Chain A
């Protein structure tokens, strides 16, 4: 065998939540604060063991709000940070998520989605936080949410979440569901030589010349670590380049637009999706997370019956993959959108697909996944 072959990958059989934790450690995460909540608790459990081993810190906070606050503080000191929760905790974190977005603190927030509103179905799956991820905190701010479907993809997406957070100085969501969090499957762990860990931009000027929100440095201004001699101010009020509050409407508008551009100007970096048999598809299916695995089986089964179905699977859910959705939507007879909620992503599909035919959901809640047969039935209705 050729010596330049990539290194032998470690093959493991881990549950999804352990994959998240181990990938976070591999991605350089050395600070985790959290409050345990099913079905995400195993992430905190593994981190509580792994981080001390790596010289990092694990803190179980008094609640989800405090956990979000703790990771923001640690991020300001230059750490790569993460918290993990489920829907109810994600709701509690929203105010601080807005704060992290506005002070531009890199952080990764994992939401292992469960069923139902409120306490709902703690141990069962749901995919009903699609819109919470996008609009859960008040005000305009850019959002990135990653929704992998497989555990080896999950490992890589965790690493990508950290890199995007650091590169763009912003919170990044990893939106998975209970099925993926608890599922164990074969995972090939990539060798560290196979991926890059990207650092946040840091100042090259002296502390005296430093401004924390200096847009002349680009849309992602360099961020100085606290306690390194660079003194700078963070506030949830609208602020100018010094970090101190301002009500100047011109600066407020320019700064919020700059923040928005961090995502809209870097789509090629952020967007990720997979297409399966879409080239000649007449019926389009759009699905994410574990529902996309059922959708893939449904599409394959439809093909066996001579129906030209195709699947678009967003791996990055926010920003929504508009171009491929439109490309698919404009040439098909109908678009099927299965999701484990009462219809959330379908609004985005309807908005961008430009589909001449109907856009219809396959919606199932109550903690049981959508079966391939249920999607196939819908495909057949419109074939």
Chain B
């Protein structure tokens, strides 16, 4: 397995997606002894503007902290795709919510469609669990990090009292991508 991994989580401000980056980095550092950096990008208007967080993981110390060849991207808004859908590897795994993202390059990337928002709304009833559902889906679609490490990191970062629903949301995402085919 490659010793370098890059992930990007893109959405709009207010969806809480920046936290997902922290959790992935935490999983790599605390539970797999790797190095990680994460860098958020947001616009001056905090809510509603396209936002992303980039995570780089390596077995060695990371010098250049900008992504250059992304392995996995989650996108929850068309305008975020339009703005941040670059620096992706040709076979990058791209996870989108089809109700929010309509146009991505199907030829270049392995595109998976999962109604993350709908799933969160119907099964969790609270949109704050969007990140946890997304992380579960990511854990199911990628194999760079052990899903258990991501789960543990989520548990560690979850606000007190929300551990159980966060784990439940993670599992919903994880299970939902099991039979998912790209394209």
Contact = CB atoms under 8 A, between A and B. Distances in A.
A234 interface: no
Given A123-B41, A123-B43, A183-B38, A293 B25 contact: no
Q: Which of A123, A124, A369, A371 has the most B CB atoms < 10 Å from its CB?
A: A123
B66 interface: yes
Given A290-B65, A297-B63, A371-B66, A185 B42 contact: no
B25 A13 contact: yes
Interface stretch (B29-37, B107-115, B143-151): B29-37
A294 interface: yes
Interface in A249-305: 290, 293-294, 296-297
B42 A123 contact: yes
A182 B66 CA distance: 12
Instruction: Sort chain A's interface into a size bin.
Output: 10 to 19
B168 interface: no
A204 B62 CA distance: 50
The residue among A182, A296, A297 with the most chain B CB atoms within 10 A of its own CB is: A182
Contacts of A13: 22, 25-26, 29-30, 36
B35 A122 contact: no
A153 to B, nearest CB: 12
Nearest to B35: A186
Given A13-B29, A123-B44, A184-B22, A293 B36 contact: no
Query: What is the interface of chain A mostly: helix, strand, loop, or mixed?
Result: mixed
Contacts of B30: 13
A183 B25 contact: no
Nearest to B42: A123
A372 interface: yes
A182 B39 contact: yes
Contact of B65 (A122, A123, A183): A183
A344 interface: no
Nearest to B55: A184
Interface of A: 13, 38, 122-124, 179, 182-186, 290, 293-294, 296-297, 369, 371-372
Complex A-B, nearest 9 residue pairs according to Cβ-Cβ distance, in ascending order: A185-B37, A184-B38, A293-B63, A297-B64, A297-B63, A122-B44, A183-B39, A294-B64, A369-B66
Given A184-B39, A294-B64, 16 more contacts: A13-B25, A13-B26, A13-B29, A122-B44, A123-B43, A123-B44, A124-B41, A182-B40, A183-B38, A183-B65, A184-B22, A184-B25, A293-B64, A297-B63, A371-B64, A371-B68
